């Protein structure tokens, strides 16, 4: 029997893997606001989710009715190129074993959070969910994208054979306050923010950026992503993949110029074309999420970037 919307979360014991991470920390905060009965965040120090015994112990300790699986090994192009085996094995083993054990344990619902990297390299823009199997992903992040995509196959197979309620939302690139600003592993928005602010502080006249600026990307503000994810967790009960995005496409060049302007960096942007561009274009068709559970992003890119820059400037000296 479906719970009334008002008390859905009050009846849930929610396990958020990756709940200590960037996205996960916002998910946990929102679940607290929604009055979830219990929120269990397994820390990597206590539970290595690649290890089957640790997964089983986590299920016993947390006794969840609903799992939101956010834990992942993630990184930018550089990290994916340096550690493709890790990106494949760790993400695959965590997800596949966790979903299997969750089904065996009797968890009511499993939200397997996918990735935009699962889409084929040359997908017609905007990416529609039905295009997901039309080709091989962009090579630099294919091991990661395919490992996560196997959770979609698993969700569909387990629903078909066991009636297991697993869903597969696919968020686009996220950003916002508390993002990872480590230049070795960060994604494009925090990397640009940090580069510009440091260049300004050091009086540099130019900043070197990867690629040629022509690829396009779509970005979703982290708080919007949480809303989409939790709407899906509450209302969506099918194993067809669902895009979560803003529906707005921007070139890396335009993005770089916008962030330079917002950070007040007035120097030259130099494009290092010996470095890879990554996937040529990325933008999502976001109609399915709107139709099925009423999600649409509220935060404009400019507003979200301002919040992120302000947070970084206030926190960069800490730690």
Q: Which of 47, 144, 158, 175 is catalytic?
A: 144
CA 174 to chain centre: 6
Beta-carbon contacts of 314 under 8 Å, excluding residues fewer than 6 positions away, are: none
Distance CA 278, CA 215 (A): 8
CA distance 318 to 130: 45
Cβ count within 10 A of residue 272: 10
Q: Confirm whether 105 is a catalytic residue.
A: no
Tokens of 236: 């969506």
Are 102 and 109 spatial neighbours (Cβ–Cβ below 8 Å)?
no
- Distance of CA 42 to CAs 3, 95, 260, Å? 26, 14, 38
Q: Which helix (H) or strand (E) segment is 200 a member of?
A: helix 188-201
Cβ-count burial of 253 within 10 angstroms (0-12 exposed, 13-18 middle, 19+ buried)?
middle
Q: Which two tokens stand for residue 232?
A: 């899906």
Q: CA-to-CA distance for 126 and 93, rounded, in angstroms?
A: 30
Active site residues: 144
């Amino acid at each position: 029997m479906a719970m009334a919307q008002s008390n859905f979360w009050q009846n849930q014991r929610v396990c958020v893997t990756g709940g200590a991470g960037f996205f996960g920390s916002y998910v946990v905060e929102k679940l607290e606001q929604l009055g979830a009965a219990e929120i269990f965040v397994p820390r990597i120090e206590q539970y290595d989710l690649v290890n089957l015994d640790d997964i089983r112990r986590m299920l016993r300790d947390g006794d969840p009715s609903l799992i939101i699986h956010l834990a992942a090994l993630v990184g930018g192009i550089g990290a994916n190129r340096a550690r493709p085996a890790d990106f494949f094995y760790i993400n695959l083993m965590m997800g596949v074993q966790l979903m299997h054990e969750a089904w065996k344990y009797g968890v009511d619902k499993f939200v397997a959070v996918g990735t935009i990297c699962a889409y084929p390299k040359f997908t017609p823009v905007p990416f529609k969910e039905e295009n997901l199997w039309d080709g091989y992903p962009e090579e630099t992040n294919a091991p990661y994208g395919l490992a996560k995509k196997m959770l979609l196959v698993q969700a569909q197979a387990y629903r078909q054979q066991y009636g297991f309620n697993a869903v597969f939302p696919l968020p686009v690139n996220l950003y916002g306050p508390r993002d990872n600003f480590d230049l070795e592993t960060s994604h494009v928005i925090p990397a640009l923010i940090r580069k510009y602010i440091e260049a300004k502080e050091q009086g540099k006249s130019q900043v070197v950026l990867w690629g040629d600026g022509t690829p396009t990307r779509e970005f979703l503000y982290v708080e919007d992503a949480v809303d989409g994810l939790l709407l899906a967790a509450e209302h969506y009960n099918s194993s067809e993949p669902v895009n979560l995005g803003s529906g707005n496409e921007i070139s890396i060049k335009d993005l770089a110029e916008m962030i330079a302007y917002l950070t007040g960096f007035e120097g030259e942007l130099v494009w290092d074309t010996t470095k890879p561009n990554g996937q040529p274009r990325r933008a999502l068709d976001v109609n399915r999420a709107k139709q099925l559970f009423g999600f649409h992003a509220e935060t404009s890119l400019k507003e979200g970037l301002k919040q992120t820059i302000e947070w970084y400037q206030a926190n960069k000296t800490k730690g």
